[in-house]
Amino acid sequence: MTLYDASIPVFLRAFGNLSAILEKGRAFADERGIAHAELLEARLIADMAPLTAQIQRCSDSAKGVAVRIGQLPDVAMPDTETSFDALQARIAATVALLQATPPESFEGREQAIVTLKTGKGEVSFPARDYLLGFALPNFFFHVTTAYGLLRMKGVPIGKLDYLGGV
**Cα dist. 53→31, 58, 83, 121 in Å?**
24, 9, 12, 23
Nearest-5° angle of CA 148, CA 151, CA 85? Answer: 85
- Which residue from 59, 96, 97 is spatially nearest to 79, judged by alpha carbons? 59
CB 103 within 8 A of CB 112: no
What's the average model confidence in pLDDT over 130-146? 98
pLDDT of residue 122: 95
- pTM of the predicted model, to two decimals? 0.95
**pLDDT tens-digit profile of 88-122?**
999 999 999 999 999 999 999 999 999 998 889 99
In sequence order, which ranges of the chain are alpha helices (DSSP H)?
A: 8-32, 36-40, 51-68, 84-99, 127-130, 136-152, 159-163
8-101+111-163 fold: Four Helix Bundle (Hemerythrin (Met), subunit A) (1.20.120)
pLDDT of residue 118: 86
What's the average model confidence in pLDDT over 113-132? 95
d(CA 41, CA 50): 5
pLDDT of residue 16: 98
CB 153 within 8 A of CB 39: yes
Residue 166 has pLDDT above 70, yes or no: no
